[in-house]
Amino acid sequence: MTHHDHDDHDDHDHDHHDHDHKHPHASPQKDHDTGPVGAYEMLEETIRSLLIEKGVLTAQEIAAQVDLMDSRSPALGAKVVAKAWVDPDFKKRLLADTRSALAEVGIDIGTLADYRIVENVPGIHNVIVCTLCSCYPKLLLGIPPAWYKSLAYRSRVVVDPRGVLEEFGVELPEGTEVRVHDSTADLRYLVLPMRPKGTRGWSEADLAALVTRDCMIGTAISAVPKGKRKAA
Amino acid sequence: MTRQAKSQATSRAPEPGSRFAPGETVRVAERPALGHCRTPWYLRGKTGVVASVQGIFRNPEQLAYHQPGLPKRVLYKVRFEQAAIWDDYRGPAGDHLEADIYEHWLEPASRSAPDLEKAR
Amino acid sequence: MPSPKRKTMPRKGADGRATHDVGGLEFGAIDRHEHDLALWEKRTDAMLILLVGPKKGAFAIDAHRRVVEDYGQQTYDRITYYEKWIRAIRNLLVEQGIVSREEIDERLAEVRERFAKAGRKASKERVSW
């Protein structure tokens, strides 16, 4: 078996474009319905069918949970960021008691972990990682990208965050502190990026469009695209 | 079926008896982990400053083996200077790293230790 | 204590560092290629969330992490993210007495048979216990 230096395999289901993504797709993969079935896929089916048979889980519950995760995407986090940008009192509440503030806007973060916001301010740029596994604010951002879960990111961003940021194309003003947060316990972190200059008077929706997933991980900076004075 | 997974998310203001306060200098214990451990290897023996107290949580080291993980442990957000963690850190002196560390992995550090910033 | 070693191989046992505890090691370039999850991977994610949730409480999420961490380095580095997860779920369900090894082996054989009948090739790989 070939050695992977990243954790996820190149498995591509062309029917599952449930969420907005701006990244390039992989080269065409073998069709999921006619290619060979993997051992782990069969194991999943085995376990699922046994758990349903034994009444531990129901097919409906599993399907509902899959749908729930499919419904979570960075757009959710972006909405929260935009609201924090336009509403200073909301931002205060968001920073002080993230769970309650998210509940205000209809986002339930469940019982597994509490969420914390780390705010980018002039002079401080935050980056999130989980070196020990892959803890991530999934209920706000959806499933993490493969690179976030990779050994390469987990190992390197703590010791060479500026090198990683450079690779991601992030340029920071001179004198900015880079602050890495390792999610080692049951707290999930989200970066509140700085509101880009030139966005005064923008609607929340237009502002949210400037907030990408990577902005909220810390591997990108929110900016008004060149040549664009106001979003369409 | 054993019901172990009570909510971990009930963090609240720490018990009056929490050992360390924000701003206090602490050192991460340097000892082998016996099984599951959420104190990363690269921070063992390193000195930092308590940035905040995150609340109390069941001990993951026990939860990992289907034990209740009680009594709950105080969790601290500890801030480290990157230059204090890595001999070969390629970045300015002002860069920091923060991690959530459980109280039983922290020790008081000498207050006379040189070049330790106050928590902001 | 000396600076954490930056070499990658071997990890477990080297100064006592555990396999999954990779902060500061070197693994080369970060591959930023992205892809959608397969349905089985989404279902694996879903089952884990449900099993560790307050309603079922089959095991703690910490136990899931521990099982993954206990994979040998070869397995840990070789199998993919959700492959790690489904294998750990399997092991924990057996550990907790919710399903037995025999039940899993039996059902797996049936699943394999069903795919064969549907004309789909099945990987010969066996997920080791």
pLDDT grade, residue C74 (50/70/90)? confident
**Per-residue pLDDT at B17:** 65
Task: Report CA Rg, chain C.
Answer: 18
Task: From first to last of the 232 residues of chain A, give the pLDDT tens digit.
Answer: 334 444 444 333 333 333 433 333 333 333 455 678 999 999 999 999 999 999 999 999 999 999 999 999 999 999 999 999 999 999 999 999 999 999 999 999 988 899 999 999 999 999 999 999 999 999 999 999 999 999 999 999 999 999 999 999 999 999 999 999 999 999 999 999 999 999 999 999 999 999 999 999 999 999 998 876 655 5
pLDDT tens-digit map of B19-73: 999 999 999 999 989 899 999 999 999 999 999 999 999 999 999 999 999 999 9
Secondary structure of residue A180 in the 3-state scheme = strand
How many domains in chain C?
A: 1
Which of B8, B42, B86 is facing A186, going by the closest CB pair? Answer: B8
Secondary structure of residue C32 in the 3-state scheme = coil
DSSP string computed for B34-95: -SS--S-GGGTT-EEEEEEEEEEE--HHHHTTT----S-EEEEEEEEEHHHH-TT--S-TT-
Contact criterion met (CB < 8 Å) for A183 and B100: yes
Domain definitions of chain A by residue range = 39-70, 73-217
Give the domain CATH number at C96.
1.10.472.20
Contact criterion met (CB < 8 Å) for A143 and C45: yes
- Bridge partners, residue B75, by sequence: B55, B102
Contact criterion met (CB < 8 Å) for A158 and B42: yes
Range of the domain at C48: 37-117
**Per-residue pLDDT at A106:** 95
**Per-residue pLDDT at B113:** 47
- Looking at 2.30.30.50, 1.10.10.60, 1.10.10.10, 3.30.470.20, the CATH number of the domain B25-108 comes to 2.30.30.50
Q: B110 CA to chain A: closest CA distance, Å?
A: 24
C70 occurs within a structural domain? yes
State the count of interchain CB pairs (< 8 A) between A and C: 213
- Region label for B35, one of left (φ > 0), alpha (ψ between -120 and 50) or beta (otherwise): left
Region B75-97 average pLDDT: 97
Domain definitions of chain B by residue range = 25-108
Share of chain C above pLDDT 70, in %: 88
C125 occurs within a structural domain? no
Please give the angle made by the CA atoms of C90, A137 and A141, to the nearest 5 degrees. Answer: 105
CATH 3.90.330.10 fits A73-217, yes or no: yes
Kindly report the length of chain A. Answer: 232
Q: Among A80-84, B9-13, C19-23, where is mean pLDDT lowest?
A: B9-13
